[in-house]
Amino acid sequence: MTTAIFWFTLDLRLRDLPGLAAAMRQYDQVVPVFILDQSDPWFFGGASQWWLDHSLEKLSADIAAQGGQLILRRGDTLPCLRQMILQTGAVAVHFSRAYEPWLAAKQQQVFHTLAAEGIACKRYGGRLLLEPELILNQQGKPFQVFTPYYKRCLKILDLPPDAPMPKPRWHNHKLPGERLQDWNLLPTKPNWATGFDAWEPGEAGAHKSLREAVTKRVASYSSLRDRPAIEGTSRLSPHLHFGEISPRDIWHSISHSRTLAAGAGEPFLRQLIWREFSFYLLHHWPGIPEYAFKPAFEHFPWTRNAKALKAWQKGQTGYPIVDAGMRELWHTGWMHNRVRMIVASFLTKHLQLHWREGAAWFWDTLVDADLANNTAGWQWVAGCGADAAPYFRIFNPVLQGRSSTRTAPMCAPGYRNWRGCQRNTSTNPGSRRALFWSRSEWNWVKPTLRPLWITNLRGKPPWQPTHRSSGRSITDIQIGLHGAAQADHMGLQGLHLTLNI
């Protein structure tokens, strides 16, 4: 009887999982394992740990319902897998391909080491629609702009429906493993995740969200996605990040839906390709979580202001749309994409704080914190990322807030009061609306932070390096200290960047 191990990573599902399906077909029994490797420099943030705990609990229950046992191990990945091989007599290890630099390198290490020991290691796709190596420009180089990348993807995209899942062949002998509760992934003292209860992690919750998106969200997505006061997005992003649903399942469900008019799903599907673009950039430029995609921005004179950073994190800037979004983030682990761009612009272009400060805070507080999308989104807003043109684009927090609250007395759904912050109690305290800044409050809210503003002035920027000439130069910019914005440089035409679709 032959045995294979399936190593779960960010693919916590059973349906449309090529590596698992192949193991079920090729071997007599499969041992499912998840390894919590805390040596990862991009280990799960606090909110993501909450989601991981619940997702693993659901995956374990799904496997148990089929007669199997999800084995949980903690420690360095390679020794854990070696121990599993000795305990089970496994002759193969299957896993889904990773694109995050550290995890991809770990998979390479596992592959070469175990292959040298006679263990068949097989890596499969499943997290993306298209592998990054398949998409190059006419010069054979990676794209750096989204639109030509998108057009190229549409030309070569061919997604056959996923094959039916083979009959489960789980290893049915009890094996030693750790208890999920012993990992202490959930907050206790204090329990800051009380507002996360609206989420439903797990594969069943992911497909429930997809069904609701197809029937209630996708048709109006292009017109409602930029309105934070309305639930116009699918909230599939954490499910996608943890691999509880495949992008192929989402693509097929929308493109083959009988309830959507022809072409109605295209704006939504475009965002799936934007997600692919973020992974594509991370694959070809693996240093971007730490360094600017545009090298000239490494010389940008970011400020250091702990007081301003803390005010931004706590939602105490005095700008209602910024504060609403930051409090929503803390309370629910999520923020509407439009508001993500507004608060990111405020941090980087008003306060002149480094985009990595914001990315780190999002990493710890978002349930959908994704290295590829988080990095690409922050660099785009900061002006130093791929396709970030013009780099001096600014979201005016006053005009953006007024526009966002034009049709409802709220800025961002779902946030609760942070200790020390006052909330609007002009409406029924028991209703959701009691948690938001009402539109009338715009007349009296006084900003507590003076914004640093980037203005498009002529002249060579003082931080432009003189010894680098490769690539496009960043020019025509100076740093100025100003009061409130005079114009909304961004308007409402921004790309839907950080993918909370």
Please write the tens of the pLDDT for every residue from 348-378: 999 999 999 999 999 999 999 999 999 999 9
Strand partners for 480: 453
CA distance 296 to 319: 31
Residue 255 is assigned to a structural domain of this protein: no
How is 343-363 classified by DSSP, letter by letter?
HHHIIIIIS-B-HHHHHHHHH
CA distance 361 to 271: 23
Burial (CB count <10 Å: 0-12, 13-18, 19+), residue 409: middle
Q: Among 105-114, 343-352, 446-455, 471-480, whose mean pLDDT is lowest?
A: 471-480
Give me the helices (H) in 285-370, please: 306-314, 320-332, 337-345, 355-365
pLDDT higher than 70, residue 68: yes
Q: Give the pLDDT confidence of 115-165 residue by residue, as tens digits.
A: 999 999 999 999 999 999 999 999 999 999 999 999 999 999 998 887 788
Query: In this structure, what are the phi and psi dihedrals at residue 459, rounded to the nearest 5 degrees?
Result: 120, 155
Q: Give the pLDDT confidence of 230-240 residue by residue, as tens digits.
A: 888 999 999 99
Which domain-ending residue is among 126, 156, 179? 126
CATH number at residue 105: 3.40.50.620
Is the peptide bond preceding residue 320 cis, with omega within 30 degrees of 0? no
Which domain-ending residue is among 95, 126, 157? 126
Cα-Cα end-to-end distance for the chain: 44
Confidence label for 396 from pLDDT (cuts 50, 70 and 90): confident
For residue 237, give every residue at least 6 positions away whose Cβ sits within 8 Å of its Cβ, in sequence order, or none. 368, 370, 373, 499, 500, 501
CA distance 501 to 230: 13
Burial (CB count <10 Å: 0-12, 13-18, 19+), residue 474: buried
Residue 177 is assigned to a structural domain of this protein: no
The count of domains in the chain is: 2
CA distance 73 to 80: 7
Is the peptide bond preceding residue 465 cis, with omega within 30 degrees of 0? no
pLDDT at res. 271:
94
User: Contact at 8 Å (CB) between 407 and 227?
Assistant: yes
Residue scoring higher pLDDT (161 or 207): 207
Among positive and negative, which fits the CA dihedral 109, 115, 116, 117? positive
For residue 8, give every residue at least 6 positions away whose Cβ sits within 8 Å of its Cβ, in sequence order, or none. 32, 33, 34, 59, 70, 95
Strand, coil or helix: 488: coil
CA distance 431 to 408: 14
User: Contact at 8 Å (CB) between 208 and 216?
Assistant: no
pLDDT higher than 60, residue 263: yes
CA distance 107 to 102: 9
- DSSP label of 99: -
For residue 432, what are the domain limits?
Answer: 295-481
User: Contact at 8 Å (CB) between 359 and 365?
Assistant: no
Residue 47 is assigned to a structural domain of this protein: yes
Mean pLDDT of the chain: 82
Residue 50 is assigned to a structural domain of this protein: yes
Residue 251: half-sphere exposure toward Cβ, Cα within 13 Å: 22
Q: State how far Cα 230 lies from the chain centre.
A: 21
Q: Tell me the pTM.
A: 0.83
CATH number at residue 366: 1.10.579.10
Which amino acid belongs to residue 225? R
User: Contact at 8 Å (CB) between 415 and 331?
Assistant: yes
CA distance 412 to 433: 10
pLDDT at res. 223:
86
Torsion angle, CA of 63/69/75/80, rounded to 10 degrees?
-110
CA distance 334 to 320: 17
Which amino acid belongs to residue 469? S
Q: Give the pLDDT confidence of 282-295 residue by residue, as tens digits.
A: 999 999 999 999 99
Residue 450 is assigned to a structural domain of this protein: yes
Confidence label for 492 from pLDDT (cuts 50, 70 and 90): very low
Which domain-ending residue is among 77, 111, 126? 126
pLDDT at res. 149:
97
Q: How large is the average pLDDT for residues 290-306?
A: 94
Residue 469 is assigned to a structural domain of this protein: yes
User: Contact at 8 Å (CB) between 208 and 200?
Assistant: yes
CA dist 167 → 29, 30, 401 (Å): 11, 11, 53
Residue 349 is assigned to a structural domain of this protein: yes
User: Contact at 8 Å (CB) between 4 and 27?
Assistant: yes
The pLDDT > 90 percentage for the chain reads 69
Residue 46 is assigned to a structural domain of this protein: yes
